Amino acid sequence: MSALLEEINKRKTFAIISHPDAGKTTLTEKFLLFGGAIHTAGAVKSNKIKKTATSDFMEIEKQRGISVATSVMGFEYKDTLINLLDTPGHKDFAEDTYRTLTAVDSVVLVVDCVKGVEEQTERLMEVCRMRDTPVMIFVNKLDRPGKDPFDLLDELETKLDIKVRPLTWPINMGERFKGVYNVYDNNLLLFSVNKTKVADDQVLIEDLNDPRLVGLIGEEDADQLREDIELINGVYEDFDAKDYENARIAPVFFGSAVNNFGVKELLEAFVRYAPTPVSRPTNQGEIAPTDKKFSGFVFKIHANLDPKHRDRIAFLRVCSGTFERNKFFHHVRLGKKLRFSNPASFMAQRKETVEEAYAGDVIGLYDTGNFKIGDTLTEGSDFMFKGIPSFSPEIFRELLNKDPMKTKQLEKGIRQLTEEGVAQLFIMNYGSAKIVGTVGELQFDVIKYRLEHEYGAKCEFVAKSFHKACWITSDDQKKLDDFKRVKGNFMAKDKDDLDVFLAQTPWILKVEQENNPDIKFHFNSEFK
C-alpha cells in the first residue's frame, strides 16, 4: 500500500448534528474522552447560543466565538484518526451547518428520545440526503421516560425518510434504564453510571441465554430483551454496511450520552463502518482522495473579531494528495499562487502548525481576504469543487446606508461578510438595491454590529416582504429573457451573478411556476 493510501485509510471525517439540546455537545465530549483527547468532562464548551436579548450582540458572539478551537476536533481511536467537525446548534446559523456538511464523509445524528424527531433534524437530514451522506443515528437520553423504542424507529423512518436498522437496543428506559444490548456483536457491556470518566467495570455477556444476564438485569428485563431482539431480527433486514455507505439505511444506536451508556458501542461501530475519505465532484469530474496532486476547498471562514487583527481563518477540507506547509498552491478562482507558512491543524482543543495534511483533514489557513466560501485550491489544475449550495433565505431586508461618507466601507464590509457566509446578498436588477437574506434574525444584528465596528459603516435594514429566493434557469434563452424582463422588479443577481427571482408569496410563486413551465425554479443554488 502506498504511503498516501495508508494515510487516507486511517482517516474518518464526520459531524455530529442535532436539534439544539438533544445532546450533541455531551456526545462530542464522550467521544473525546474515549479517544483520550480530553480527560475530564466539561472540557468541551457548548457552542449553543443561549437565549439572550438580541441586542446583546457581544454576548452572542462570545458564545458563538468559542469556536476556532472547537470548529474541528481531531482525536484518535483504535488507530483511526477521527476529525469531528463542529456545527452550530442555533437555528439562525443553519447555513453554517449545511456548509460544514459538504466537508464531511459521514454524519452522526442525535435525537432526543423524549422529543423524537424535531423540525431542525428533518431539515438537516434533507441536506444529508441531497449528497447521499451516510448517517448513523444516536437516540439519546434513554435515562428519561421517552417514547417507546419501536415507535421511535417508525418515527425516524417516516420523518427522516430513510430505512433504519437498530444496532443496539435499550434495556428498559427512564429510571430503570440499564444499558444497551449490542445487536451487531451480540453482546452486552454493562457500565456503571459515571459522568466523569470512562468506566472500567464492564461485564461482558456474550449470549442472551447466559444465566448471569438475569442476575444482572433481572428476570423481567431479561425476558423483554430476548423478546425485543427476536422481534428486531425478524422485522429488520440484516445490517449491510454497503447500504449504510450508500446512504440507503441508517443504523440506529440507543443510549444516554451524559451517563456514558451506548456511546462506546456507537464509537466502535463508527470506526468499523464509517467511510474513509470519499471522492468529491468538481466541474471536471470526480476527484479521488488518492489522486496524487493536492486539492481542497474552503467551506467555512472564521473572522477575527478584533478590529486590530483583521485576518480570518479559512477552513479547508483536503480532498486529495498532500498539502504541504510553505509550498505554492493554485487558487483557482483568482488564478493566483499562494503559500501558507502557518497552516493550523486541530487536535482536540489544541491548535498546532501542520507540516502536511491528507484527504479528510481540515486545516485552518490564515487569510487576508483571498478566500471566499467554496474556493478551490489545487496543485496547478483548474477544476473547481462543486456542491456548496446556497439555500433560499427566509428573511429578506433591504440594506440602507446611513452614512454616505462611508459608502465604500459599507460596500467592502457587506461583500466580505457575504464571502464569509454570514448572509446572502442579492442586488436588484432595477435600481441596484441591496437585499440581504438570512435564515434568522440574529444575522442582522451580527451584520449591523460588524459593519459598524470593523468597517466603520452605519446601516439600517428595511423589511421586505419576500417569501423565497429562486434561482431560475431555462433551456430556452428567449423565454428566460422574457421572464426576466417582465418580472424585472423582482429579479436580482446573487454573489455569483446568477439570476434570482424573489417571489413575494407562496401563491405568486405557484402561479409563476404554472405560467412558465419552461422555466426551472431552483430552491438552492446547487443546480450549477
182 vs 259, which CB is nearer to ligand G4P?
259
Decide: is 24 part of the binding site for ligand G4P (CB under 6 A).
Answer: yes
How many residues would you count in the chain? 528
261 vs 273, which CB is nearer to ligand G4P?
261
Decide: is 84 part of the binding site for ligand G4P (CB under 6 A).
Answer: no
Q: Which stretch binds ligand G4P (CB under 6 A): 223-231, 255-263, 403-411, 501-509?
A: 255-263
SS3 199: coil
Residue 302 CA from chain centroid, whole number:
15
Alpha helices in 102-167 (DSSP H): 119-130, 149-160
Show contacts with ligand G4P in window 38-67 (CB under 6 A): 46, 48
User: By the 8 A CB rule, do 491 and 484 touch?
Assistant: yes
Is 503 annotated in a binding site? The answer is no
Is 24 annotated in a binding site? The answer is yes
Give Cα separations from 472 to 270, 333, 480, 508, 513 (angstroms). 40, 23, 8, 15, 11
Is 309 annotated in a binding site? The answer is no
Binding residue for ligand G4P, selected from 22, 136, 156, 519, defined by CB under 6 A: 22
User: By the 8 A CB rule, do 374 and 388 touch?
Assistant: yes
Is 418 annotated in a binding site? The answer is no
23 vs 393, which CB is nearer to ligand G4P?
23
Q: How far is the CB of 141 from ligand G4P (least distance, A)?
A: 4
8 vs 110, which CB is nearer to ligand G4P?
110
Is 21 annotated in a binding site? The answer is yes
Q: How far apart are CA 220 and CA 363, in angstroms?
A: 52
User: By the 8 A CB rule, do 75 and 84 touch?
Assistant: yes
Q: How far is the CB of 25 from ligand G4P (least distance, A)?
A: 3
Give Cα separations from 241 to 8, 106, 186, 268, 378 (angstroms). 19, 13, 17, 14, 33
Decide: is 18 part of the binding site for ligand G4P (CB under 6 A).
Answer: yes
Q: Which amino acid is at 431?
A: G
User: By the 8 A CB rule, do 364 and 351 touch?
Assistant: yes
User: By the 8 A CB rule, do 167 and 273 touch?
Assistant: no
Q: Using alpha carbons, select from 525, 174, 199 the residue that is nearest to residue 374.
A: 525
Q: How far is the CB of 11 from ligand G4P (least distance, A)?
A: 24
SS3 89: coil
Q: How far is the CB of 29 from ligand G4P (least distance, A)?
A: 8
Binning the chain into helix, strand and coil, the percentages to the nearest 5 are 30, 30, 40
Q: How far apart are CA 162 and CA 125, in angstroms?
A: 9
93 vs 471, which CB is nearer to ligand G4P?
93
Q: Which stretch binds ligand G4P (CB under 6 A): 141-149, 186-194, 309-317, 477-485?
A: 141-149
Q: How far is the CB of 399 from ligand G4P (least distance, A)?
A: 32
258 vs 436, which CB is nearer to ligand G4P?
258
Decide: is 140 part of the binding site for ligand G4P (CB under 6 A).
Answer: yes
SS3 107: strand
Decide: is 144 part of the binding site for ligand G4P (CB under 6 A).
Answer: yes
Q: Beta strands 80-85 and 72-77: pairing type?
A: antiparallel
Q: How far is the CB of 189 from ligand G4P (least distance, A)?
A: 17
Q: Which stretch binds ligand G4P (CB under 6 A): 22-30, 125-133, 343-351, 401-409?
A: 22-30
Cell of 107: 454524519
User: By the 8 A CB rule, do 37 and 347 touch?
Assistant: yes
Is 140 annotated in a binding site? The answer is yes
Binding residue for ligand G4P, selected from 137, 258, 313, 395, defined by CB under 6 A: 258
Decide: is 21 part of the binding site for ligand G4P (CB under 6 A).
Answer: yes
25 vs 390, which CB is nearer to ligand G4P?
25
Q: How far is the CB of 131 from ligand G4P (least distance, A)?
A: 23
Is 22 annotated in a binding site? The answer is yes
Is 90 annotated in a binding site? The answer is yes
Cβ partners under 8 Å of residue 435, min gap 6: 396, 397, 398, 399, 425, 426, 427, 428, 464, 466, 492, 502
Decide: is 146 part of the binding site for ligand G4P (CB under 6 A).
Answer: no
Decide: is 143 part of the binding site for ligand G4P (CB under 6 A).
Answer: yes
Q: Using alpha carbons, select from 372, 373, 407, 408 the residue that is nearest to residue 388.
A: 373
48 vs 131, which CB is nearer to ligand G4P?
48
The vertex-438 CA angle with 436 and 444, nearest 5°, equals: 70
37 vs 491, which CB is nearer to ligand G4P?
37
Binding residue for ligand G4P, selected from 35, 74, 88, 89, defined by CB under 6 A: 89
Q: DSSP letter at 380?
A: S
CB atoms closer than 10 angstroms to residue 28: 23
19 vs 450, which CB is nearer to ligand G4P?
19
Decide: is 25 part of the binding site for ligand G4P (CB under 6 A).
Answer: yes
Is 166 annotated in a binding site? The answer is no
Decide: is 187 part of the binding site for ligand G4P (CB under 6 A).
Answer: no
Positions touching ligand G4P (CB under 6 A) are 18, 20-26, 46, 48, 89, 140-141, 143-144, 256-259
Residues of each annotated binding site: 18-25, 86-90, 140-143
Residues of each annotated binding site for GTP: 18-25, 86-90, 140-143
